[in-house]
Amino acid sequence: MVTAVFLLNGFLFYKIGTRIIDKAEGMTQEKRENPLKDVQDKFFLSFESPADMGIFQFPDSGAELSKAVASEGKQSLLVEFPSGGAYPGMMFEVMGKDCLNWSDLKEFSFDVFNSSSVDCVLTVKLKSGEKYPKRDFERNITIPPMQWTTIRFTRDELAKRLDLSKISYLNMFMHDPRTTFKLYFDNMRVLKE
């Protein structure tokens, strides 16, 4: 029995290769060496293109580009944080030479719209370093309902905890939400000195 399971897993790995299967949605997405290659020099995501969404993974969440609301341009990124998910959210991670260099950072900011009728608490976590253990920065942010809010992190507050020349991880998530929240993200950017 154990041999059969082992052979089946080997066959599936051979057939699937570099594809990642999203079990929750039954969708597939191509695995890339460095999903942030196109934003390495200038980190600006307007979500006017599917490529801006493509750098993220959405653990325990659903996501799509939406024309329902936008802080600027014609569309934004809609992320659904479902109730009962342990840490639903959106994230990216790179290692080694693929880390982002934010050493000339003035601020990291993004716009977020909470479509719910109640406040929600979004956790933003950044890490730096080419390999583990990494340095990290984490902040819980209350997002008011039914309005656009701009979230800003200054150079001073990030540099206290991170190596800005080796940004390797960004995660925005909720701790076990009791209700489903739909948040829209737009203008995710690094402003430089």
Residue written as token pair 């701790």: 175
pLDDT value of residue 193:
84
pLDDT value of residue 153:
98
4 shares its domain with 86: no
> Residue 96 and residue 114: Cα distance in Å, rounded?
35
Contact indicator for 41, 192 with CB cutoff of 8 Å:
no
pTM above 0.75, yes or no: yes
Residue 17 has pLDDT above 50, yes or no: no
8 shares its domain with 52: no
Structural domain including 6 reads 1-31
pLDDT value of residue 80:
97
Nearest Cα residue to 120 out of 154, 146, 85, 152? 146
24 shares its domain with 89: no
pLDDT value of residue 36:
72
Nearest Cα residue to 188 out of 47, 90, 80, 89? 47
Residue 143 has pLDDT above 90, yes or no: yes
157 shares its domain with 182: yes
170 shares its domain with 130: yes
Give the tokens for residue 148: 């656009």
2 shares its domain with 38: no
DSSP secondary structure of the chain: -HHHHHHHHHHHHHHHTTEEEETTTTEEEE--S-TTGGGSS--EE-SSSHHHHTT-B-TT-EEEEESS--SSSS-EEEEEE-TT-SS-EEEEE--GGG-B--TTEEEEEEEEEE-SSS-EEEEEEEEE-SSSS-EEEEEEEEE-BTSEEEEEEEHHHHHTTS-GGGEEEEEEE-SS-SS-EEEEEEEEEEEE-
pLDDT in tens, 149-188: 999 999 999 999 999 999 999 999 999 899 999 999 999 9
Q: What is the mean pLDDT of residues 67-76?
A: 96
Rg, C-alpha atoms of the chain:
18
5 shares its domain with 57: no
pLDDT value of residue 35:
66
141 shares its domain with 49: yes
